[in-house]
Amino acid sequence: MDNNRKLIYSREQKELDLKPEIKAGIESSETDLNTQISSSFSLKGYEKKDGMFSYSLFCVISGGEKKEKNFLRELIIHRNLRSLRVAFLSKENQGLQPYQMQDRWSEIRRSGIFEFEGQSFRLDSVDKVYLLSDVDEFYDQLVKILCNQDENDVGEWIISNPCFEIWLYYCFKNEPKVDLVCLESFSTAERSQKMKELGNVVVDGGLNPIHAFERMANGISHSIEHYARDDKNIPILYATEMHKMAQCLLETMNRSTREYDEFIRSKREWRETMRSGK
C-alpha cells in the first residue's frame, strides 16, 4: 500500500476537498456532531497556490455507527488534522454485525474500491484497514471469522469486550474491576448495554468520544495494562484491541510534524481561554 500519498496543488490545478459546514470555535454536542459528520460533507473544487502536503488514508468498517464515528470525527472531517484521513463505513441507525462487516470487506477486496461519502478510493491506495467490533452477543461470529481469515487479508479486526465503550473508559479512567465489576454478573449478551449505562455513572460527563480522542495516550497505556485474549483469540472481559489502532493513529499523525500533539495543545489553550473569558 502507498505510504506516501501526496496532493499537489498549483495555480491551474483543482482538487476535491472535503469541507464540513461547522463553525470554527464552537464545540457541539455529540448528537449534533454525528449529524454534522453524516450530512454536511460537500465536495468542493479547491484551488490553492503552489504547495504540497502528504497524508495517510485509513479505512474503518465499524459495527457501531455513532460512538466510533464521533471518536474519529477529526480524522473523518480532515480539517484540523491533515496528515491522516479516515474513511468510515457503517450502517446508519443500525450498525453492522461481524458477518455483515466481513461481507462488506469481502466485496471491497473483490472490487478493489472503497466507497465513502460519495467518493471512491482504490484499495491499493489505502494504508490501513480496520474492522471495529464489540464482543456483545457476537462471540461465535467473531471466532468463526478469525478462524477462517485469509492470511493475505490486510483487514485488521479490532475487538472490544464487552463493547467500544471500554476503550472510551480507558481514555478517562483505569479501575475497571472497581468501576465496572458489576458487569461480571451479567451474561455476555447483556454486558454491552450495561456498560453503556455505566458510562454516565463512572465518568463525569459520560464517555464522551470526542474528548476521548484527545486522551488517546491514556487510553493506550490503560488498555495495554488490561489486555488479554482467551484461547479463541477474543479479548477477555475489560479488554480491547483499540490500543493497537490508536497507537497507529498517533504515530501517523506525529510522524513528521507532531501534528496530534500540536492539536491537543491548541485545544487545551482554547478551552482555557474560554474558561477565563478572555
- Model confidence over 245-272: pLDDT tens digits? 999 999 999 998 899 999 999 988 888 8
Predicted confidence at residue 35, as pLDDT, reads 39
Q: What is the pLDDT of residue 39?
A: 33
pLDDT digits (tens, 9 = 90+) for 173-188: 999 999 999 999 999 9
Q: Residue 213 is part of which domain span?
A: 6-276
Residues of the chain short of pLDDT 70, as ranges, are 1-53, 278
Please indicate, yes or no, if residue 28 is contained in any of the structural domains.
Answer: yes
- Which pLDDT belongs to residue 53? 61
In a domain, 159, yes or no: yes
Q: Is residue 251 part of a domain?
A: yes
Nearest to 157 by CA among 171, 174, 145: 145
Mean pLDDT of the chain: 83
pLDDT at residue 52, as a whole number: 53
Buried b (16+ CB within 10 A) or exposed e, 44-59: eeeebeeeeeebbbbb
Per-residue pLDDT, 171 = 98
Closest by alpha carbon to 168, among 30, 27, 24?
A: 30
Is 94 within the bounds of a domain? yes
Q: According to the model, what pLDDT value does residue 107 have?
A: 95
Q: Which residues lie closer than 8 Å to 174 by C-beta, 6 or more apart?
A: 218, 222, 225
For residue 93, what pLDDT is reported?
A: 85
Does residue 89 lie in a domain region?
Answer: yes
Counted domains in the chain: 1
Report yes or no on 1 lying in a domain. no
**Mutual angle of helices 165-172 and 216-225, in 10-degree steps:** 110
Distance in Å from the first CA to the final CA of the chain: 47
Q: Which helix (H) or strand (E) holds 51?
A: strand 51-54
